[in-house]
Amino acid sequence: MNAASRPDAGPIIPGFHPDPTVCRVGDDYYLACSSFEYFPGVPIFHSRDLVGWTQIGNALDRPSQLNLPPTTPSSGGIYAPTLRHHDGRFWLITSNIPHGGTLLFNTEDPAGEWSDPVRLPDVPGIDPDLAWDDDGVCWCTFAGIGQVRIDPRDGSALEKPRRIWSGTPGATYPEAPHLYRIGDLWYLLIAEGGTERGHGISVARGPAPNGPFEPCPANPILTHRGTDDPVQNTGHGDLVQAPDGSWWLVFLGVRPRGGSPGWHVLGRETFLAPVDWVDGWPVVGAPGTLPAGADGPGSLPVKERDDFDEPNLHPRWISIRNRPAAAVSLAEQPGWLTLRARGASLDELTVTFVGRRQQHHSVRVGARVDAAAGRGGLAVRLDEQHHYAVELTGGRVVVRARVGPLSQVLAERAAPAGPVVLGIRTLATGPSPDHPRQEPDVVQLGYEHPRDGFVTLAELDGRYLSTEVGGGFTGRVIGMYATEGTVRVDWYEYERLDP
**DSSP string for 206-243:** ESSTT-PPEEPTT--SEE-TTS--SSEEEEEEEEEE-T
Name the active-site residue from 19, 238, 384, 461: 19
Of 355, 345, 353, 393, the C-alpha closest to 371 is: 393
**Hey, is 285 helix, strand or coil?**
coil
Residue-wise pLDDT tens for the chain (499 aa)? 334 444 457 999 999 999 999 999 999 999 999 999 999 999 999 999 999 999 999 999 999 999 999 999 999 999 999 999 999 999 999 999 998 899 999 999 999 999 999 999 999 989 999 999 999 999 999 999 999 999 999 999 999 999 999 999 989 999 999 999 999 999 999 999 999 999 999 999 999 999 999 999 999 999 999 999 999 999 999 999 999 999 999 999 999 999 999 999 999 999 999 999 999 999 999 987 778 777 655 556 789 999 999 999 999 999 999 999 999 999 999 999 999 999 999 999 999 999 999 999 999 999 999 999 999 999 999 999 999 999 999 999 999 999 999 999 999 999 999 999 999 999 999 876 678 889 999 999 999 998 899 999 999 999 999 999 999 999 999 999 999 999 999 999 999 997 5
What pLDDT shows up at residue 77?
98
Stretch (H or E) spanning 467: helix 467-470
What pLDDT shows up at residue 287?
87
Residues 134, 140: Cα–Cα separation, whole Å: 15
Residues 413, 395: Cα–Cα separation, whole Å: 9
pTM of the model: 0.96
Name the active-site residue from 37, 61, 129, 175: 175
> Is residue 19 annotated as a catalytic residue, yes or no?
yes
Which domains, and CATH codes, for the chain? 3-291 (2.115.10.20), 303-496 (2.60.120.200)
DSSP bridge partners of 475: none
Give yes or no for a contact between 373 and 332, defined as CB atoms under 8 angstroms apart: no
Task: Locate all alpha helices (DSSP H) within 1-157, ordered by sequence.
Answer: none
Side-chain-facing half-sphere of 490: CA atoms under 13 Å:
10
What pLDDT shows up at residue 1?
35
Distances (CA, A) of 213 to 145, 336, 497: 12, 57, 48
Of 316, 323, 308, the C-alpha closest to 356 is: 316
What pLDDT shows up at residue 3?
45
